[in-house]
Structure 1
Amino acid sequence: GWLAGSAAGRSASVPAVAHDPDSGRNSLQSYELSGDEHFSLAVQAGPGGDQRPELVLAKALDREEQSLRLVLTALDGGEPPRSGTAQLCINVTDANDNPPVFAQDRYRASLREDAPPGSMVLNVSASDADAGTNARITYGFGKMPAKVLQKFVVDAESGTITLQEALDFEDTRGYTLLVEARDGGGLVAHCKVEVEVLDVNDNAPEITMLSVSSPVPEDAPAGTVVALLNVNDPDSGENGQVSCELSASVAGSLSACFCESSSPVLP
């Protein structure tokens, strides 16, 4: 017989009915059921006064946990009583009662800012304890800013996230991706993917002249400030640290050097 995973109280007719050619007390008198606590037995009177057994679901079923085999026994009223048995196999069909579950609630990945479009970020994975269509999972992104959706794409079948557009550490240093796993019955699970963008030394230092004294008198004493410069590198860490030097043909020196966004003074 086939029953969907469901709540208690439902009943199903037993496909086999016992027959006893004897009469009176020696004929069929009762039925008994054994083998599983999920079912009880109800006996209804048929049109000709014969007994018709019915299985009544006493406890909710769960296809993911069990396959059910029952034994139905028919008894007559003789001394000693005689009996016949039939084995009943109950196939519990799937109901979409399990949502997808991600292997992790939060994933983390890192990409260099010079990673080319098409680079793989990582693969997310979800499972579903149901069967058939109810267990078929498709992946997608949740609600996110358009800027983020332009950068990344997720494969609906495999859950592989790839880069779709070039990164720029100086513009955005990280992204949070909201990923959904949806089963065939419409149940949805969510996880987050944190993507860190790693800096690459892709910017040259920029020199800005803040002020300059020109011409310089030939009798100007040593230490006279001739020009004030600002040097900046938008890269990060060591890539953003700058040092300044003058060519050998220039009579002068620099101070306040080797610091990020420094302002060297040319005395």
Structure 2
Amino acid sequence: WKQSGSEHASPGSRFPLPSARDPDVGMNSLQRYQLNPNSYFSLQMRGGTDGNAPELILEKPLDREHQSSHLLVLTAMDGGDPVQSGTIQIKIEVTDANDNAPVFSQDVYKVSLPENLPSGTSVLKVTAIDQDEGINAEITYSFKTLRDIGNMFILDHQSGEIKSKGPIDFEISRSYTINIEAKDGGGMATECKIIVEILDENDNAPEVIFTSVSSSITEDTEHGMVIALFKTHDKDSGENGEVTCLIKEKVPFKIESSCRCSPIRGNVTRNLIRTRRFLHHKVLALWL
């Protein structure tokens, strides 16, 4: 005998059982039923047109994820001597209720990507599982917030794989935080966080900006006279953003530099050009 019981069934729920038949009469006829000991169900009798009929009473909530079915034995006994009995096996199949939310394999994922990554490159695959079954265990993935993230990354709603979409530029953003939602077919959802670190590449040339310059000086200009001020800037970071300035020609000038490093804007170096010895009357051109 098979019967189904939902995870939603509350304690006290009743499950009717088949009645036994005994052609004898009096004490030799059917007298009572007995259920094998178990922690989920008890046995009660209910009145019917053909006498008392057995039924199961749920004692505590069912949990399909813990136990998907329950095997019981119902015994019918007469009052004779010796007692005659008959048994029937009862299988209670627990039907699923959407009582479990998806669970990600990690609450926080971390990944590092080089900038200028080609579009369509796989970044990461998130995975969530749901202990329910059927449609209640079917999971779809989505970005929790699309602002900016939807322009940079693509998410496969079925597999959870994330790929690059837009140009990834370290100088625009050094990291991204992505919130992913996993939702099952019954509407229960959970979230995880992905932290994407962008790695710098040497993809920017230094910039040279003159802020002050003397186009001409006298030949008796003192040694150490400042004739030009300029600054250099490289948007890259670390060693890729360190700028070295040299004068290519052999001329009586020298460069002095002082570095002011900015973690946001890259390395900014302030420089000045001084005379390093007395000059003779001539025209000089400087190339940096």
TM-score range, shorter chain: over 0.9
Greater alpha carbon shift after TM alignment, 74-83 vs 23-32? 74-83
Are positions 1:102 and 2:104 aligned together?
Answer: yes
TM-score using structure 1 length? 0.95
Query: Which residue identity does 1:47 align to in structure 2?
Result: T
- Who is 2:180 aligned against? 179
Are positions 1:261 and 2:261 aligned together?
Answer: no
Q: Which 5+ residue runs of structure 1 have no aligned equivalent? A: none
- Who is 1:199 aligned against? 200
Identity in percent: 46
**Superposition pairs of residues 4-153 of structure 1, within 5 angstroms:** 4-5=6-7, 6-14=9-17, 16-48=18-50, 50-66=51-67, 67-144=69-146, 146-153=147-154
Distance in structure 2 (CA, Å) of the matches to 1:246 and 1:199: 29
Q: Name the SS of the counterpart of 1:263 in structure 2.
A: strand
Distance in structure 2 (CA, Å) of the matches to 1:189 and 1:225: 65
Distance in structure 2 (CA, Å) of the matches to 1:140 and 1:24: 70
Is the 1:35–1:71 Cα contact (8 Å) retained in structure 2? Answer: no
1:63 Cα offset (Å): 0.7
Are positions 1:235 and 2:242 aligned together?
Answer: no
Query: Which residue identity does 1:77 align to in structure 2?
Result: G
Is the 1:242–1:257 Cα contact (8 Å) retained in structure 2? Answer: no
Query: Which residue identity does 1:120 align to in structure 2?
Result: S
Are positions 1:208 and 2:209 aligned together?
Answer: yes
Query: Which residue identity does 2:236 align to in structure 1?
Result: D
Greater alpha carbon shift after TM alignment, 179-188 vs 58-67? 58-67
Distance in structure 2 (CA, Å) of the matches to 1:250 and 1:198: 40
1:104 Cα offset (Å): 0.4
Q: Deviations over 1:31-69 (max 9, x none)?
A: 111152211111112213x22111111111011111200
Distance in structure 2 (CA, Å) of the matches to 1:225 and 1:138: 67
Task: Please provide the CA RMSD for this pair.
Answer: 1.3
Is the 2:73–2:88 Cα contact (8 Å) retained in structure 1? Answer: yes
TM-score using structure 2 length? 0.88
Query: Which residue identity does 1:150 align to in structure 2?
Result: N
Q: Name the SS of the counterpart of 1:253 in structure 2.
A: strand
1:214 Cα offset (Å): 2.1
1:213 Cα offset (Å): 1.4
Distance in structure 2 (CA, Å) of the matches to 1:252 and 1:217: 14
1:249 Cα offset (Å): 4.2
Q: Name the SS of the counterpart of 2:268 in structure 1.
A: coil
Q: Name the SS of the counterpart of 1:175 in structure 2.
A: strand
Is the 2:259–2:270 Cα contact (8 Å) retained in structure 1? Answer: no
Greater strand fraction, Structure 1 or Structure 2 = 2
1:160 Cα offset (Å): 0.4
Q: Deviations over 1:112-134 (max 9, x none)?
A: 11101111110100000001110
Distance in structure 2 (CA, Å) of the matches to 1:53 and 1:264: 98
